[in-house]
Amino acid sequence: MDKMKRVPVREQDPKVRSTNFDEVCLGYTVEDAVEESKRCLNCKNPLCVKGCPVSINIPEFIKHIKEEEFEEAAKTIAKYSSLPAVCGRVCPQETQCEGKCILGIKGEPVSIGKLERFVGDWSRENNINLSDTEPKKNKKVAVIGSGPSGLTCAGDLAKKGYDVTIFEALHEPGGVLVYGIPEFRLPKDTVVKTEIENIKKLGVKIETNVIVGRTANIDKLMEEEGFEAVFIGSGAGLPKFMGIPGENANGVSSANEFLTRVNLMKAHKIEYATPVKVGSKVAVVGGGNVAMDAARTALRLGAETHIVYRRSEEELPARVEEVHHAKEEGIIFDLLTNPVEILVDENGWVKGMKCVRMELGEPDASGRRSPRVIKDSEFIIDVDTVIMSLGTSPNPLISSTTKGLNVNKHGCIITEEETGKTSKGAVFAGGDAVTGAATVILAMEAGKKAAKAIDEFLSNKEK
Amino acid sequence: MFKIVKKELLVPNIYLMDIEAPRVAKSAQPGQFVIVKSDERGERVPLTICDYDQEKGTVTIVFQTVGRSTHEMANYEEGEAFQDFVGPLGRPSEFVHENLEELKNKKILFISGGVGAAPVYPQVKWLHENGIEADVIMGTRTRELLILEDKMRAVADNVYVTTDDGSYGFKGLVTEKFKELVEKEGKKYDVVVAIGPIIMMKFVALTTKPYGIKTIVSMNPLMVDGTGMCGACRVTIGEETKFACVDGPEFDGHLVKFDEAIRRQSMFKSEEGRELIRQEESNLEPHHHKNGGGCGCCGGNK
């Protein structure tokens, strides 16, 4: 056994998994996990912890795995994170904890994500109780949005003894964890539901079907319902479109719409009423994780699927693991390609996409090489469905209905970085609502910081 | 869960329900809508709010059974509950924010088609309660399908009923009645609000345009979330793409690209057909409508 190599994780065969929605990565067995945990050097000054946005004590939980004290491992993680089975699956560990692991210099870093996932899964399967909280404080905090930042903030505040209510606009809590990330990366009924149940076990109430800005608003929640502080974790759910001709044709949708139909509404299952339509050839425009999710979902619904991206493979913003999985499953990558028009047939349906070839110029201010159109390079991709995955921005509904809440020119809520404090007293915010579309773990970090700041704010208020 | 406290069959295939939803009732305003999902497997069906009672905490919806989801909803009885009921969604009607004194100087005509009478009613009622009288043309295919006539008469200044077959009121289309009112009876209107099947709204907008009368229509596109996160409901207004669920549902009828909207409504037609066959519903008329749920705005007019 080569100590510099990680214990491989079991995965579904690409040929099989491209026809089902079951989880691609099967995770570590007990033996695998213990074996992998032995590679950890238990560093005195663990860099991995610095790479983790919520600073999980990684060497400690890994040591518990090594000693087969899985419940202790779960309790260690629970001090920092309420969503280990989620984060172990969807965090970009290569740029976070694992990216800092000292073993990664000469060999492969410890599979921290897979080990965290193992602990999360193990504690679910063994019904470990992680719901210890401090004595009740009898102070009400409202959390807007039940995505990763809201769940984390709510969980942390509940552990501190606050009376927390989450208000969620959709009919199911979880945010992007339920409507965005597909089942084959993040199982809903087992993983996501259980972790949300764990947060409820801390005493957090979740009211679904409440759209803050319409059904209720922040001022009224504070004045009429006695909430003493508010955390806004409403995310960035407003999809962008390109603004090219033909974009409103039948057969063009946003990735949000396509993924919501399949993930949240389960449109691919015949017994569910929501329909979904994919043609025989699908183009997904964009190169982020959402684009990979949409493409791999379309493939599983039986379509030949293309990723159309204006830069080269090197610049793809998606995780390397996801790009690799997508390729294994047979997604075709049309790189350095940019759509300029959706071609529409006489009935208003997509019949093709006119594109231009791109080349990369000098690096711009952001350090990325900016793409330029190659002259006279127009050509047509023969597709009948187009899914736009160009990113999202915060929905203006909350900011436009809350007096005194300042936003920047992108519609993102302006906050103090360390505390999540907004321009409005007793109102805090974090996650994509503040940063624009980012990652699950960064949203959790923001939720965590805000929970700490809200606790300080309400404790000082008392004095 | 959201309890059904009242269910009434208004006319064949059109139901009225009062749903217990205190938060929605408290915030609802004319022109807004709700999304209903009957059970775990159901889809999210947008329906315009017909009435609301803050004290009782109830919201009234009126819907026509046009597809699988609205049929399923119709199978629910008083005392049972829908799993999800969310709202109020969309922007309230423009006049809610207008200065009442200025509004009193305006003559407003509402035109409803079929089930469109349901979303017209709370608007006329709101105006009436604020001391502003408005006229209403209520169009329907035949007398037996006319809904909410008495309620409407109680809040409107004049109500003109039109039927396609002449079985009641004026024989003909709502647009013909409009022309008669303006041309022959010398009525002057500053604003027309038309709610009904999209094809009716299109023709109302075409009819009012030469007269230069501002015309507002309530769009009923396919929707999924209804909160602005997917863009399924996008419509072209002038040169701009708007999301009907957050920017609307009401828009300037003279700027709406109706043909595109009509085409987009048919996007899931085959799925809807397949569903219907699977459900073995035998008494359904072919309908121009879509999936996404019977919008409820859509009636038998054309």
CATH number for the domain harbouring residue B155: 3.40.50.80
More confident residue, A2 or B96: B96
Domain ranges of chain A: 10-126, 140-237+394-461, 239-391
Considering the four listed CATH numbers 3.20.20.70, 1.10.1060.10, 1.10.10.10, 3.20.20.120, the one that applies to the domain covering A10-126 is 1.10.1060.10
List Cβ neighbours of A384 (8 Å cut-off, separation of 6 or more): A251, A279, A280, A281, A282, A349, A350, A351
| Residue B53 located in a structural domain | yes
CATH number of the domain where residue B53 is located: 2.40.30.10
HEC readout, chain B: CEEEEEEEEEECCEEEEEEECHHHHHHCCCCCEEEEECCCCCCCEEEEEEEEECCCCEEEEEEECCCHHHHHHHCCCCCCEECEEEEEECCCCHHHHCCHHHHHCCCEEEEEEHHHHHHHHHHHHHHHHCCCCCEEEEEECCHHHCCCHHHHHHHCCCEEEEECCCCCCEECCHHHHHHHHHHCCCCCCCEEEEECCHHHHHHHHHHHHHHCCEEEEECCCCCCCCCCCCCCCEEEECCEEEEHHHHCCEEECCCECHHHHHHHHCCCHHHHHHHHHHHCCCCCCCCCCCCCCCCCCCCCCC
| Residue B124 located in a structural domain | yes
Q: Which fold has domain A140-237+394-461?
A: FAD/NAD(P)-binding domain (3.50.50)
- Residue B292 — very low, low, confident or very high, per pLDDT cuts 50/70/90? very low
Least confident of B158-172, B199-213, B285-299: B285-299
- What gap in Å lies between CA A461 and CA B280, rounded to an integer? 63
Is the Cβ of A129 closer than 8 Å to some Cβ of chain B?
no
The reported pLDDT for the residue numbered B275 is: 56
Annotated binding site of B for FAD: 62-64
Is the domain of B102 the same as that of B213? yes
What distance in Å separates residue B24's CA from the closest CA in chain A? 6
From A248, A251, A254, residue closest to B230, measured CB to CB: A254
Q: pTM of the full predicted structure?
A: 0.91
Mean pLDDT of A258-272: 93
**Does the pLDDT at position B294 exceed 50?**
no
For chain A positions 330-389, those within 8 Å of chain B (CB to CB) are 347-348
The reported pLDDT for the residue numbered A132 is: 83
Best to test chain B binding among A248, A268, A390, A392 (most B CBs inside 10 Å):
A248
| Residue B199 located in a structural domain | yes
Annotated binding site of B for [2Fe-2S] cluster: 230, 233, 245
| Residue B113 located in a structural domain | yes
Is the domain of B117 the same as that of B168? yes
Contact A170 B227 (CB under 8 A): yes
Task: Residue B130: give the domain boundaries.
Answer: 94-218
Residues of B in contact with A272 (CB under 8 A): 41, 43
Is the Cβ of A273 closer than 8 Å to some Cβ of chain B?
yes
Is the Cβ of A208 closer than 8 Å to some Cβ of chain B?
yes
Neighbours of A323 (CB within 10 A): 20
**Does the pLDDT at position A343 exceed 90?**
yes
| Residue B7 located in a structural domain | yes
Contact B27 A214 (CB under 8 A): yes
Nearest to B251 by CA among B302, B201, B176, B179: B201
Is the domain of B143 the same as that of B43? no
- What gap in Å lies between CA A191 and CA A382, rounded to an integer? 38
Contact A216 B23 (CB under 8 A): yes
Check whether the bond before B249 is cis (ω within 30° of 0).
Answer: yes
Is the domain of B64 the same as that of B100? no
How many A/B residue pairs have CB atoms within 8 Å?
A: 114
The 3-state DSSP class for residue A441 equals helix
- What kind of architecture, by CATH, is found in domain A239-391? 3-Layer(bba) Sandwich (3.50)
Mean pLDDT of A14-31: 94
Q: Of B169, B197, B218, which one is at a domain's C-terminal end?
A: B218
Q: Quick check: A401 and A411 in contact, CB under 8 A?
A: no
Four-residue CA torsion sign, B109, B113, B117, B120: negative
Contact A277 B267 (CB under 8 A): yes
**A140-237+394-461 and A239-391 share one fold:** yes
**Does the pLDDT at position A163 exceed 70?**
yes
> What is the per-residue pLDDT across B190-216, written as a single tens digit (0 to 9) for each?
999 999 999 999 999 999 999 999 999
- What gap in Å lies between CA A323 and CA B1, rounded to an integer? 41
Give how many domains chain B has, as a whole number.
Answer: 2
| Residue B291 located in a structural domain | no
List Cβ neighbours of A134 (8 Å cut-off, separation of 6 or more): A159, A160, A161
> What is the per-residue pLDDT across B73-87, written as a single tens digit (0 to 9) for each?
999 999 999 999 999
Residues of B in contact with A260 (CB under 8 A): 224-225, 229-230
**Does the pLDDT at position A40 exceed 60?**
yes
Is the domain of B109 the same as that of B208? yes
List Cβ neighbours of A176 (8 Å cut-off, separation of 6 or more): A147, A148, A235, A440
Is the Cβ of A260 closer than 8 Å to some Cβ of chain B?
yes
The reported pLDDT for the residue numbered B287 is: 39
> What is the per-residue pLDDT across B210-249, written as a single tens digit (0 to 9) for each?
999 999 999 988 899 998 999 999 999 999 999 999 998 9
Is the domain of B166 the same as that of B185? yes
**Does the pLDDT at position B296 exceed 50?**
no
> Rounded mean pLDDT of chain B?
88
| Residue B258 located in a structural domain | no
Mean pLDDT of B17-38: 95
Is the domain of B200 the same as that of B111? yes
- Residue A2 — very low, low, confident or very high, per pLDDT cuts 50/70/90? confident
Is the domain of B162 the same as that of B213? yes
Mean pLDDT of A415-432: 94
**Does the pLDDT at position B269 exceed 90?**
no
| Residue B276 located in a structural domain | no
Is the domain of B82 the same as that of B99? no
Annotated binding site of B: 62-64, 230, 233, 245
**Does the pLDDT at position A101 exceed 70?**
yes
Residues of B in contact with A214 (CB under 8 A): 27, 32, 87-89
Is the domain of B72 the same as that of B145? no
The 3-state DSSP class for residue A392 equals strand
**Does the pLDDT at position B285 exceed 90?**
no
What distance in Å separates residue B45's CA from the closest CA in chain A? 10
